[in-house]
Amino acid sequence: MKTANKVRSRLRFDSLEHVTAPDGSGRVSVRLEWGGAFYEGTVPCLQTQQGIIKAASQAALSATLASTQKVSTNSIDLEVVGVKAVRAFDGWVVVTRVNGRAGADSYRLLGAAPCEGEEDLPGAAVKAVLNASNRVMEQRVAR
């Protein structure tokens, strides 16, 4: 039996860049990939642990929304309500809450992603946003 090549229907985390300026300000850029195309979101950040993971989650959501403009006429509005890093056992877990609206549908989404070290928290924040939003994005784009 021959199987057809299946195109991945979810966004994939490609890269994250955190830059600190000499004046103490910073920015986080997140790049996501879907179907061979790349989508980027960049957000300024405060140079605190919470500021950086918040910016990473917002940049991930910005890149996510940019992907919908290219591949779908079904618009969706998503917003990061909160993001929190929690120390758990010998590692960390980043939990994020995303609210969304698409037409008459509304969404209250929760995502989580583990990581080992504190330096990996921004990447875990991106993965938590994707964990929260990918199923909804997959459904909206497939329509």
CB 83 within 8 A of CB 96: yes
**Helices 49-71, 121-142: inter-axial angle, 10-degree rounding:** 20
Q: Is the pLDDT of residue 57 over 90?
A: yes
Q: Is residue 100 part of a domain?
A: yes
Residues 77-128 have pLDDT tens digits of 899 999 999 999 999 999 999 998 887 888 899 999 999 999 999 999 999 9
**Mean of pLDDT over the chain:** 87
* Count of domains for the chain: 1
DSSP label of 88:
E
| Mean pLDDT, residues 122-142 | 85
Least confident residue range of 32-36, 86-90, 97-101, 139-143: 139-143
Q: Is residue 1 part of a domain?
A: no
The residue segments making up the domain with residue 29 are 12-142
pLDDT score, position 70: 59
Q: Which residues contact 133 (CB under 8 A, 6 or more apart)?
A: 61, 64, 78, 98, 100, 109, 111
Domain containing 133 — which CATH number?
3.30.160.270
Query: How high is the pLDDT of residue 3?
Result: 44
